[in-house]
């Protein structure tokens, strides 16, 4: 951004402490009157050097660290990391463990969307919605808590399996929670679509066309809201997703309203996936039989090689590139987060909009700064 | 002035002034206690989610845990806040901003170090870009260990802080 | 088009610049590229083979071989093949052409690789640090011989 300001222009700094998103980030916007003429995002307020830390930790220790890349999608981060190691070492995950992973990851998607959507509603002045979504999110968190023993950072996946089996009565709990959650999601949709003020702040605002979105490299709900059905779960299946029936939720409009709508639909789809999993889940071991892998992972050396493994995060495409040199620590790990390109695409998106819409547009991307900074 | 047996009718739940209730209260209670009582029951905290612990911070302030019932309310502006919660890793780049937030908060103010990162560096204790030993920079009142601590732990931390405020004997001069 | 034809098309188009190609599986291919011409290769990939989605770009440090590798991971919205493209640079003076004209979102990846590895990108629109504070520039923290890692300042450890 050009730092020079012309007559009747000024630069407004939003952030780094700003309630606009979980985590600090700064947007320097150059305004002429109320209109944004130019802007720039400053990052790195919570850069913690995870890639360097991972190089200096053994593979098992790394699991706890990757949890903290994006704290709203800890399980999908783990899946990407563990998947890399499994591909390198050639570990086969038994079906029961795969189903449990899918169940947990979809639960994590639901809670992330609930938080992201509710928080977003509060940015456009719809604070009571935030209260509703947080209330329902607590139920989902309790479900996850009952399996993994943690609410945010789970450390649940292990190489070749998962740490624990589903607790007794989990299926009934899920049924009970989902019955009320389904109703809640319907009521959110009704609230959103019937609120005139909300609609006038979101419909037709921040429109992203499919070409621009592809050019920017966006993935996840913001991309699917433009009509591109790009979903790693379907395009590059991992775990047992090929055996499950689900559709990729898309919307045409590409505006803020469509993005929220995609998230609502995805929550319904996730609930459907989980119910299928609970019906289909076979009995069996949690770890590959006849190997050393188990709840206590052995000291392991991973064969030399390079691998890129990607999974579908609640926010889009999450990928890990791992280089192993045959020792017990990875040589290099690159984390490709979904929000990184999305946040980068913010300045062109808010060019020419009014100041009040910045928050609506930036919030609708459901960005997680911690993952951008790593 | 002694009041004769009143001709007032007894109204349940209402203290009439002539029963000396308020003046008794003021005579028997130290100004210090009144101050402390006021301060401890309106601990508005600053929402600055800085890390994974920040998500728990958000949930604590919201509907399910409902800290409003203790007078603990999340605020988005440092100008309204009494409590700064350091909820996560402090990086070298973010430290100046955090100091500025602290300076903007009006006294009396308190700090809660929430999570292992704020206490000892947590999982990132050896990172090249985080700033360690935050307790040397901010006057931390309560430490909450955990990675992340649960929401109940934060509520407990506020109770500890309330006890601390209640015990204060500064005659209103400090802060 | 499957992985094999893609890699063939790429190596026939740039016979001198593309080497060490390998088809790992149906959806993963690897190739090495001469650093001078990486922008042209990317343009060809994007326009003719519909590799329009730059997943990421990063550096890898090999002090033993005195090399820094810049790795581009390029995927697509239309097919599921992912190409890993590697350019090898000397460690003393790593310089490479920027791919921002082709992939718009390479901008931040290159800024990050610049500040963490010291790779200079030529013709980059705005090469300045992204995530580190200004005064840490020049330390290249993700290189293997970086001195500041484990940071021993923490006092309250148990
Ligand atoms: S203490 Fe743990 S959960 Fe909290 S910010 Fe640090 S790493 Fe995240």
Contact A23 B123 (CB under 8 A): no
Q: Is the ipTM of this complex over 0.95?
A: no
Which pLDDT score is estimated for A21? 64
- Residues in chain A with CB shorter than 8 Å from the CB of C30 are 306
- Cβ–Cβ gap A17/B48 under 8 Å: yes
Is residue B1 very low, low, confident or very high in pLDDT (cuts 50, 70, 90)?
A: very low
Q: Which residues lie below 8 Å from residue C142, measured CB to CB, with a gap of 6+?
A: A51, A52, C59, C61, C116, C117
- Strand segments, DSSP code E, in A2-99 are 9-14, 26-32, 35-42
- Residue B75: φ, ψ to 5°: -125, 150
User: A38 in helix, strand or coil?
Assistant: strand
CA–CA separation, A63 vs A57, rounded Å?
A: 10
Q: Could you report the per-residue pLDDT of C40-94, keeping only the tens digit for each?
A: 888 888 888 788 888 888 888 888 888 888 888 888 888 888 888 888 888 888 8
With the most atoms of ligand 1 within 8 angstroms of its CB, the residue from A53, A57, A153 to mutate is: A153
Q: What is the pLDDT of residue A210?
A: 83
Task: Identify which of B54, B55, B127 has the shortest CB distance to residue A49.
Answer: B127
Strand order in the sheet with B74-75: B74-75, B45-46, B83-86, B110-114, B142-144
Nearest residue in B to A65, CA atom: B123
Is B63 in Cβ contact with A135 (below 8 Å)? yes
CB distance B92–C155 less than 8 Å?
no
Q: Say how far apart CA A53 and CA A276 lie, in whole Å.
A: 38
Q: Using a CB-CB distance cutoff of 8 angstroms, which residues of chain C are in contact with residue B121? A: 154, 156-157
CB pair distance less than 8 Å for A46 and B55:
no
Residue B115 Cα: closest atom of ligand 1: 1
- Domains annotated for chain A, with CATH where assigned, are 48-348 (1.10.645.10)
Does the pLDDT at position B9 exceed 70?
Answer: no
Nearest CA to ligand 1 atom 8: B52
Query: Distance from the CA of B122 to the center of ligand 1, in angstroms?
Result: 7
> Distances from the Cα of B89 to the Cαs of A77, B51, B95, B114, C4, in angstroms?
19, 6, 10, 10, 47
Q: In this predicted model, what pLDDT tens digit does every residue of B76-128 receive, in sequence order?
A: 888 888 888 888 888 888 888 888 888 888 878 888 888 888 888 888 888 88
The per-residue pLDDT for B20 is 65
What is the value of pTM for the model shown?
0.87
Residue C131 to chain A, least CA–CA distance (Å)? 4
Contacts of A372 in chain B (CB under 8 A): none
User: Token match 């047992």: residue?
Assistant: A240
Per CB-CB distance under 8 Å, the chain A contacts of C27 are 236
DSSP string, chain C: --HHHHHHHHHHHSTTTEEEEEEEETTEEEEEE-GGGHHHHHHHHHHHS---EEEEEEEEEETTTTEEEEEEEEE-SSS--EEEEEEEEESSS-EEE--TTT-TTHHHHHHHHHHHH-PEEET-S----SSS-GGGTTS-TTSTT-TT-S--------
Q: By alpha-carbon position, which residue is closest to atom 5 of ligand 1?
A: B88
- Name the residue among C82, C132, C149 with its Cβ closest to that of A308: C82
pLDDT of amino acid A353 = 84
- Cross-chain residue pair B49–A23, CB shorter than 8 Å: yes
The stretch B2-15 carries a mean pLDDT of 57
Cα–Cα distance list, B8 to A215, B4, B121, B125 (Å) = 81, 11, 66, 70
Q: What is the pLDDT along chain A (374 residues), one digit of tens a residue?
A: 777 777 778 888 887 777 666 678 888 888 888 888 888 888 888 888 888 888 888 888 888 888 888 888 888 888 889 888 888 888 888 888 888 888 888 888 898 888 888 888 887 877 888 888 888 888 888 888 888 888 888 888 888 888 888 888 888 888 888 898 899 888 888 888 888 888 888 787 878 888 888 888 888 888 888 888 888 888 888 888 888 888 888 888 888 888 888 888 888 888 898 888 888 888 888 888 877 777 777 678 888 888 888 888 888 888 889 888 888 888 888 888 888 888 888 888 888 888 888 888 888 887 778 888 87
| Run of H or E including A280 | helix A256-280
Question: For position B82, what pLDDT does the model report?
Answer: 86
Cβ separation of C73 and A216 shorter than 8 Å? no
Contact with chain C for residue B93, Cβ under 8 A: yes
Q: Closest ligand 1 atom to the C-alpha of A152?
A: 3
Q: Residue A342 in contact with residue A218, Cβ under 8 Å?
A: yes
Which residues sit opposite A132 in a β-bridge?
none
Write the residue in A43, A308, A323 that is nearest to C130 by C-beta: A43
> Was domain C3-136 assigned CATH 3.30.460.80?
yes
Mind listing the domains of chain B with CATH numbers? 32-166 (3.40.50.12280)
User: Rounded mean pLDDT of B56-67?
Assistant: 82
Residues near ligand 1 (Cβ within 6 A): A 68, 153; B 51-53, 88-89, 115-117, 122-123, 147-148
- How far, in Å, is the centroid of ligand 1 from the Cα of B51? 6
- In the prediction, which pLDDT does B6 show? 55
């Amino acid at each position: 951004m050009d730092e020079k300001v012309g007559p009747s222009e000024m630069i407004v700094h939003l952030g780094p402490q700003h309630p606009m998103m979980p985590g600090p980030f700064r947007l320097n916007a150059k305004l002429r009157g109320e209109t944004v003429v130019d802007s720039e995002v400053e990052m790195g307020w919570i850069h913690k050097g995870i890639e360097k830390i991972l190089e200096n930790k053994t593979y098992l220790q790394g699991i706890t660290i990757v949890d903290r890349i994006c704290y709203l999608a800890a399980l999908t981060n783990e899946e990407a990391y563990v998947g890399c190691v499994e591909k390198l070492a050639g570990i086969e995950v038994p079906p029961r463990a795969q189903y449990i992973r899918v169940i947990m990851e979809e639960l994590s998607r639901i809670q992330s969307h609930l938080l992201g959507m509710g928080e977003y509603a509060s940015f456009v002045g719809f604070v009571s919605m935030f209260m509703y979504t947080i209330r329902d999110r607590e139920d989902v968190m309790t479900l996850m808590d009952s399996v993994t023993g943690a609410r945010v950072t789970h450390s649940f996946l292990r190489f070749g399996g998962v740490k624990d089996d589903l607790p007794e009565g989990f299926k009934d709990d899920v049924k009970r929670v989902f019955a009320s959650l389904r109703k809640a999601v319907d009521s959110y949709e009704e609230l959103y679509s019937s609120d005139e003020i909300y609609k006038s702040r979101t419909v037709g605002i921040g429109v992203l066309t499919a070409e621009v979105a592809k050019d920017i490299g966006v993935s996840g709900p913001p991309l699917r809201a433009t009509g591109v059905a790009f979903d790693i779960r379907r395009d590059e299946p991992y775990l047992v997703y090929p055996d499950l029936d689900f559709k990729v939720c898309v919307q045409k409009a590409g505006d803020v309203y469509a993005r929220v709508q995609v998230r609502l639909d995805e929550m319904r789809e996730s609930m459907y996936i989980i119910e299928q999993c609970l019906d289909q889940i076979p009995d069996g071991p949690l770890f590959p039989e006849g190997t050393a892998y188990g709840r206590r992972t052995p000291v392991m050396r991973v064969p030399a090689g390079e691998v890129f493994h990607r999974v579908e995060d609640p926010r889009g495409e999450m990928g890990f590139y791992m280089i192993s040199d045959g020792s017990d620590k990875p040589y290099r790990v690159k984390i490709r987060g979904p929000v990184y390109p999305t946040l980068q695409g913010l300045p062109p998106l808010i060019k020419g909009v009014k100041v009040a819409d910045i928050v609506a547009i930036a919030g609708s991307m459901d960005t997680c700064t911690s993952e951008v900074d790593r | 002035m002694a009041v004769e047996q009143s001709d007032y009718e007894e109204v349940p739940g209402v203290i009439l002034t002539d029963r000396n209730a308020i003046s008794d209260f003021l005579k028997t209670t130290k100004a210090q206690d009144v101050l402390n009582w006021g301060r401890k029951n309106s601990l508005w905290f600053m929402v600055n989610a800085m890390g994974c612990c920040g998500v728990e911070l958000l949930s604590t302030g919201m509907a399910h845990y409902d800290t409003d019932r203790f007078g603990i309310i999340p605020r988005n502006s440092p100008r309204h806040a009494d409590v700064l919660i350091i909820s996560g890793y402090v990086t070298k780049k973010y430290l100046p901003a955090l100091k500025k937030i602290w300076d903007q908060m009006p006294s009396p103010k308190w700090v809660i170090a929430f999570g292992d990162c704020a206490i000892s560096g947590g999982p990132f204790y050896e990172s090249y870009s985080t700033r360690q030993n935050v307790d040397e920079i901010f006057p931390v009142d309560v430490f909450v260990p955990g990675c992340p601590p649960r929401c109940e732990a934060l509520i407990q931390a506020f109770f500890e802080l309330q006890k601390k405020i209640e015990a204060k004997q500064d005659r209103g001069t400090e802060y | 088009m499957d992985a094999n034809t893609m890699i063939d098309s790429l190596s026939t188009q740039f016979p001198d610049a593309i080497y060490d190609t390998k088809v790992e599986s149906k959806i993963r291919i690897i190739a090495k590229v001469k650093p001078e011409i990486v922008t042209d290769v990317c343009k060809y990939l994007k326009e003719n083979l519909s590799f329009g989605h730059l997943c990421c770009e990063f550096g890898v440090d090999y002090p033993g071989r005195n090399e820094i590798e810049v790795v581009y991971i390029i995927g697509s919205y239309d097919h599921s093949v992912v190409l890993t493209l590697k350019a090898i640079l000397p460690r003393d003076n790593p310089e490479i052409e920027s791919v921002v004209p082709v992939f718009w979102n390479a901008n931040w990846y290159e800024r990050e690789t610049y500040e963490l590895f010291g790779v200079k990108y030529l013709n980059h629109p705005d090469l300045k640090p992204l995530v580190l504070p200004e005064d840490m520039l020049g330390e290249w923290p993700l290189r293997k011989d970086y001195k500041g890692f484990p940071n021993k300042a923490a006092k309250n450890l148990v």
